[in-house]
Structure 1
Amino acid sequence: MNTTPAHGSGTQVAERPATDPSTGSPIVIELTGVRRHFGSGDRRVQAVDGVDLTVRRGEVVALLGPNGAGKTTTLDMLLGLTAPSEGTVRVLGSTPERATAGGSIAAVLQTGGLLSDLTVQETVRLIASLYGAAALARVATVMARADLVHLARRRVSKCSGGEQQRVKFALAMVSDPDILVLDEPTAGMDVTARRHFWDVMRADADAGRTIIFATHYLEEAEQFARRTVVMHRGSIVADAPTARLRVGLGERTISATVAVGGSADLVASLRATSGVVDVRLDADRLSLRASDSDAIARTLLAAGAHDLEIAAPTLETAFTALTED
């Protein structure tokens, strides 16, 4: 996390963000035609390739994509840690550097070390001191919210990976940012800590804080993100409400018990049906995926099938459909 304090005697105030007329909510993040490459010639790598993205205040956005999709580079540009090769990045109507320096945007990142010789409380107080008296007054609160009170006197070097992630979370919260950027925030956390973390994030989002997070845990995106953006090879390949993305791109899974006699003809017929994929027969249990589950269910029941089960698509099936070559 960038912990640079604001320059001068007071905290810098970002310009007033634009407002999306369709929702009335201010636009707090805006990327326009953003590209970022590294190297040149034969060694040139196009990490981000033509990204346009707008995020409004109070949104919870999951950023998904396979390794190398450009997620971390995009987040680094949001934080002013790297500059775009082309295009513009605006945060709260101003530059990412200004928003970060003023504490309006903060992050929990995978990279970036902690001072191992300090205790947890000393670490949080040190970073809070960079933002002034108001941030110092929040130390006790953020320690509690990050579930660090019982670890206050433990040296950072003695903390586990998941505990150090919670320390980074506390550091991100001391400035009371309008926008919180999270890159694999729960890596190393156990189930209880992960659940507590997302309970806090949900409360923050309900209170109006904007949260954008990259994760490899698809269940986290499914449970906590109201909107999902999928990146592949540096570009955005999908951007939609999470529930709509899941349903729109994933076929439903249908299974049923069928009579062994005549099952071969039924399987052949289903395999020839438009919108039906992955038809399998294991003994007398038939399974398949289909875009029109109601029609297939009627076909199966008419053929004498029973014990019919229909499972809704998951975000994983949608993610796979979008990112498979």
Structure 2
Amino acid sequence: MSLLLRGVRKAFADVVAVDGLDLEVKRGECFGLLGPNGAGKTTTIEICEGLTAPDAGTIELLGLTWAKSANELRQRIGIQLQETQFPEKLTVEETLRLFRSFFHRGISVDESIRTAQLEEKRSSRVGGLSGGQKQRLAMACALVGDPELLFLDEPTTGLDPQARRHLWDLVDQLKQAGRTIILTTHYMDEAERLCDRVAIMDHGRIIALGTPPQLIASIGGEHIVEFAITSHDAARVVDVTVLTAIAGVQSHRVDAGQHQLTVRDLHSTVPHIFAALHNQGLHLSDFRTHSATLEDVFVGLTGRNLRDE
């Protein structure tokens, strides 16, 4: 087992950030930790990384604890924070040589530069790098000690699509090499694409756990049907009971004027939805369908209200 948490709790004054958390991550697994702002995932990660002490509970990484084996753990894990501040006057190569010097063993500076595709920026000062290049440098620094367990805390936030895809490819390579990866992200497509299993946190607890396909199946349908009625009909009330009574319709919700139905079988259900709306005298301004995703699971479980950190 690469990571084991039992009864972990952390409170800041009257705010309980982590509330009796139990979690297991297997060796060689890419594990996603998801949750809305204020769910407790960042605190959980900081506790696992040894940056924050828990109020209660036990944490084991690679069979070791921070209390007894802190120095050994620092040699065996890698961390990429949400935002890393590097000395801006150092070059990419100098920065990596500095980080490599912290570890007894690891990969060469040349290899880490190749892994992050920073060959052309080897002699460039960190202060002149783009956001994506700095993220790649942060990843290279996290890998330079050849870690068995790697923490990636929102590694692609703020990156353009091309840079995101590059980091996805890099994470895929790390998975194939057998490393254990703990990933936090706000991009549900990223978690769905990269993670073997996902845990969704809210209010300091795990509220859902499983593979992405398992979690998607848990919402009771394979497809999402979205529609909106015209502004002319906006004052009229949609009879939801008629829609949810249609065979194959699992659930209904409204978001910003868009009605969303979770359904099992599109080709047999959609004609009945059209007929039900027509019988109510409603006209559509928008109608679309898509396969259910991890984002549908996330929103269904945690709600749509924004929260403060």
Q: TM-score range by the shorter chain?
A: 0.7 to 0.9
Pick one of 190, 211, 231 that aligns with 2:201: 231
Q: Distance in 2 between matches of 1:75 and 1:288?
A: 34
Offset of residue 99 of structure 1: 6.6
Pick one of 237, 241, 249 that aligns with 2:219: 249
Distance 1:312 1:126, change over 3 A: same
Pick one of 179, 183, 191 that aligns with 2:161: 191
For residue 261 of structure 2, what is the aligned residue in structure 1? Answer: 289
Q: Distance in 2 between matches of 1:100 and 1:316?
A: 38
- RMSD across aligned C-alpha pairs, in angstroms? 3.1
Distance 1:214 1:276, change over 3 A: closer
For residue 130 of structure 1, what is the aligned residue in structure 2? Answer: 102
Offset of residue 271 of structure 1: 4.4
Please report the TM-score for the alignment, with normalisation by the length of structure 1: 0.77
Q: Distance in 2 between matches of 1:106 and 1:288?
A: 41
Pick one of 5, 17, 35 that aligns with 2:9: 35
Offset of residue 301 of structure 1: 9.3
For residue 231 of structure 2, what is the aligned residue in structure 1? Answer: none
Q: Residue 91 of structure 1 contacts residue 99 of structure 1 at CA under 8 Å; is this kept in 2?
A: no
Offset of residue 294 of structure 1: 6.5
Distance 1:118 1:247, change over 3 A: same
Distance 1:277 1:204, change over 3 A: same
Number of aligned residue pairs: give it.
Answer: 280
For residue 242 of structure 2, what is the aligned residue in structure 1? Answer: 269
Residue 315 in structure 1 maps to residue 290 in structure 2 = no
Residue 118 in structure 1 maps to residue 90 in structure 2 = yes
Residue 211 in structure 1 maps to residue 181 in structure 2 = yes
In structure 2, runs of 5+ residues without a counterpart are 228-236, 278-286
Q: Distance in 1 between matches of 2:178 and 2:149?
A: 9
Offset of residue 175 of structure 1: 0.7
Residue 78 in structure 1 maps to residue 51 in structure 2 = no
Distance 1:266 1:186, change over 3 A: closer
2:21 alignment partner, SS class: strand
Offset of residue 293 of structure 1: 3.4
Q: Residue 34 of structure 2 contacts residue 184 of structure 2 at CA under 8 Å; is this kept in 1?
A: yes
Calculate percent identity across the aligned residue pairs. Answer: 39
For residues 136-170 of structure 1, what are the alpha-carbon distances to aligned partners after superposition, in whole Å with 9 as ceiling and x for unaligned? Answer: x5211111111111111111111122221111111
Please report the TM-score for the alignment, with normalisation by the length of structure 2: 0.80
In structure 1, runs of 5+ residues without a counterpart are 1-26, 257-263
Q: Residue 150 of structure 2 contacts residue 180 of structure 2 at CA under 8 Å; is this kept in 1?
A: yes
Q: Distance in 2 between matches of 1:291 and 1:304?
A: 15
Q: Distance in 2 between matches of 1:279 and 1:111?
A: 36
* Structure 1 residue identity aligned to 2:297: A
Q: Residue 36 of structure 2 contacts residue 302 of structure 2 at CA under 8 Å; is this kept in 1?
A: yes
Offset of residue 309 of structure 1: 7.8
Offset of residue 100 of structure 1: 6.2
1:117 alignment partner, SS class: coil
For residues 12-31 of structure 1, what are the alpha-carbon distances to aligned partners after superposition, in whole Å with 9 as ceiling and x for unaligned? Answer: xxxxxxxxxxxxxxx11000
Offset of residue 279 of structure 1: 8.6
Q: Distance in 1 between matches of 2:152 and 2:117?
A: 18
Distance 1:323 1:298, change over 3 A: closer
Offset of residue 101 of structure 1: 4.5
* Structure 2 residue identity aligned to 1:214: T
Distance 1:268 1:231, change over 3 A: closer
Q: Residue 124 of structure 1 contacts residue 139 of structure 1 at CA under 8 Å; is this kept in 2?
A: yes
Offset of residue 278 of structure 1: 4.5
* Structure 2 residue identity aligned to 1:253: I
Distance 1:298 1:98, change over 3 A: same
Greater shift after overlay, 156-165 or 296-305?
296-305
